[in-house]
Amino acid sequence: MSEPTDKILVLDFGSQYTQLIARRIREEQVYSEIQPYNYPIEKILAFHPKGIVYSGGPSSVYEEGAPVSSRELFDLGIPILGICYGLQLIAMQMGGKVAHSDRREYGPAVIKILKEDKLFSGFEDASEEERRVWMSHGDRVEELPDGFEILARTDNSPVCAVRHREKPIWGLQFHPEVHHTARGKEIIRNFIFSICGCKPSWTMQSFVTQSVAAIKEEVGNAKVIGAVSGGVDSTVMAALVGEAVGNNFYPIFVNNGVLRKNEAEEVVHLYRNQLHLNLIYHDATDRFLDALKGVIDPEEKRKIIGRTFIDVFVHEAEKIEGVEFLAQGTLYPDVIESVSFKGPSATIKSHHNVGGLPEVMPLKLVEPLRELFKDEVRLVGKVLDLPDSILGRHPFPGPGLAIRMLDDVTPEKLETLREADAIVTEEIRKAGWYDKIWQVFPVLLPIKTVGVMGDERTYEQVIVIRAVHSVDGMTADWVRLPYDLMARLSNRIINEVKGVNRVVYDISSKPPSTIEWE
Ligand code: XMP
């Protein structure tokens, strides 16, 4: 095992940027974890943070029910950095005054540094452009508590950066974690390295070493099962668990009949021949398609697929004797206990495909990716030598093609969609667009339109192409694909896919639309 890593705790007061703070710190190779603002002090001490960041938040400090952390944190001697609401809370708790305002200051501002300080080291000769910061607040600190001094101001905010003269407490009215703050990275670096004294030791290589050792210790000689799909998360999870327990790990891959062209074969090949894992493959196409017969409602489709999956998985798992553990590819954003991270998608569509397995299988859980963000999972995959084709794969929903054909699911429609999907993926890859975008896929509409081919009138189906940019699937914008690429997609689909005589392009952003059509 390598050295224990230095850690920074981020207390979440509900800001949309809280995750970003933790990510920025991790990018500097310092481990950082988010906990709710009222995380008990004993737990904070047990975590041994070298520094604590208070996030921003949408509340007003004097508002009833506003999130408040313990004042005792100020006396621990652990450096604290309050950002936006975090600063206002510190100011209020230490005896200062915060003014409530209905007018928000939102957007760029330029700071003027008034006093030399470790937090701004390196800023001595910074140009105006380099001192640009991002503001997003309504309230502001009107009166500083005793013991504090002002480090920087802007034209609008006289109290923009502060520090306590004796205690290791700093505060910023602006957001160093967002890209619009020109040298925000450096401010964060100054805090974690110069002020907190962290060393950069959180690397994906060290994560893999520690995680494999931890799984070995936890699991011993017991058997582990886990559901895999060929997607990034489950494949990285499987590679890690496989590395730790070898043949005692049984990844189970269920073909639910709504996969893409050749997908099942490729996944089986990857797990068996490239990762050399003990894959159990079960083709349950008939069972899924039977259960889906005649079902039109998207949520109903999801539920049926989820339920059937659990039945099939449990049946396969029960054939293996003496299993004690269930491995899952749960990621960090799924485990953070805060409402601010659950975007609207979480409730608008039920996304949990394999959610529910732990409830029906009383096994101990192994979740090696629980601490990681998605981009870190990809980096772990790289350390484990997984092929780029897996690590760069676009997200594919658990209910698969079933939610990309409006109306009921039939083998004929699946065939149409598979052919169209193969063409779309091939052309997008060939044109060099695949790695630049979040997702691209065709959707089959349940209508027919008139066309003409040769001298014949046709009356056939419509394919929609959906291509989106996104960073996390929560918001998205449609991709401005070049016209000639769109033309190729349309020509090939209409010429090569039987039963389709029209191709249209989806130009809706999310919100108000969603990425998938169902
Ligand atoms: P929406 O359509 O909600 O999609 O904008 C956001 C992201 O989630 C994926 N998605 C799903 N993934 N099961 C999944 O595993 C689902 O039921 C599901 N529905 C949508 C979608 O592909 C996009 O990346």
User: Is 395 touching ligand 1 by the criterion CB < 6 Å?
Assistant: yes
Report pLDDT for 344: 40
Distances (CA, A) of 22 to 18, 31, 33, 392: 7, 8, 6, 23
Dist CA 171 CA 452 (whole Å): 68
Share of the chain residues as helix, strand and coil, in percent rounded to the nearest 5: 35, 25, 40
Select which of 160, 175, 186, 516 is catalytic.
Answer: 175
Terminal-to-terminal C-alpha distance of the chain: 46
**Among candidate residues 104, 95, 208, 187, the one with its CA nearest the CA of residue 145:** 95
CATH class of 204-391: alpha beta
Q: Which residues of the chain have pLDDT under 50?
A: 1-2, 338-347, 353
Cβ atoms of residues 365 and 326 within 8 Å: yes
Please give the radius of gyration of the chain, using alpha carbons only, rounded to the nearest integer: 26
User: Is 306 touching ligand 1 by the criterion CB < 6 Å?
Assistant: no
Q: What are phi and psi of 386, to 5 degrees?
A: -75, 150
* Residue matched to tokens 């997702």: 439
Q: Based on the residue annotation, tell me whether 84 is a catalytic residue of this protein.
A: yes
Domain boundaries, the chain: 7-195, 204-391, 410-505
User: Is 184 touching ligand 1 by the criterion CB < 6 Å?
Assistant: no
Q: How many other CB atoms are there within 10 angstroms of residue 10's CB atom?
A: 29
Q: How many other CB atoms are there within 10 angstroms of residue 179's CB atom?
A: 11
Dist CA 110 CA 117 (whole Å): 18
HEC states along 117-142? CHHHCCCCCCCCHHHEEEEEECCEEE
Dist CA 502 CA 315 (whole Å): 43
Model pTM score: 0.85
From ligand 1's centre to the CA of 260, what distance in Å? 16
Kindly give, in sequence order, each residue whose CB lies less than 8 Å from that of residue 443, ignoring residues fewer than 6 positions away. 404, 405, 406, 463, 464, 465, 466, 506, 516, 517
Cβ atoms of residues 72 and 99 within 8 Å: no
Dist CA 376 CA 358 (whole Å): 25
DSSP assignment of 35-63: EETT--HHHHHHH--SEEEE---SS-TTS
**Among candidate residues 450, 439, 416, the one with its CA nearest the CA of residue 517:** 439
In one-letter notation, the amino acid at residue 473 is G
Cβ atoms of residues 229 and 279 within 8 Å: no
Is the sign of the CA dihedral 328, 329, 335, 339 positive or negative? negative
Is residue 461 helix, strand or coil? strand
Measuring from atom 8 of ligand 1, which residue has the nearest CA?
A: 473
Report pLDDT for 4: 60
User: Is 353 touching ligand 1 by the criterion CB < 6 Å?
Assistant: yes
Cβ atoms of residues 55 and 13 within 8 Å: yes
User: Is 500 touching ligand 1 by the criterion CB < 6 Å?
Assistant: no
Fold observed for domain 410-505: GMP Synthetase; Chain A, domain 3 (3.30.300)
Report pLDDT for 504: 98
CATH topology identical between 7-195 and 204-391 = yes
Tokens found for residue 206: 């060290």
Fold observed for domain 7-195: Rossmann fold (3.40.50)
User: Is 351 touching ligand 1 by the criterion CB < 6 Å?
Assistant: yes
> Could you identify the atom of ligand 1 that is nearest to the CA of residue 514?
5
Tokens found for residue 474: 């929560």
Residue-wise burial string across 382-402, b where 16 or more C-beta atoms lie within 10 A, e elsewhere: ebbebeeebbeebebbbbbbb
From ligand 1's centre to the CA of 161, what distance in Å? 40
Kindly give, in sequence order, each residue whose CB lies less than 8 Å from that of residue 127, ignoring residues fewer than 6 positions away. none
Mutate which of 300, 515, 517, 518 for ligand 1 pocket (most atoms within 8 A of beta carbon) = 515
Q: Based on the residue annotation, tell me whether 175 is a catalytic residue of this protein.
A: yes
Residue 464: which H helix or E strand, with range? strand 456-469
Is residue 452 helix, strand or coil? strand
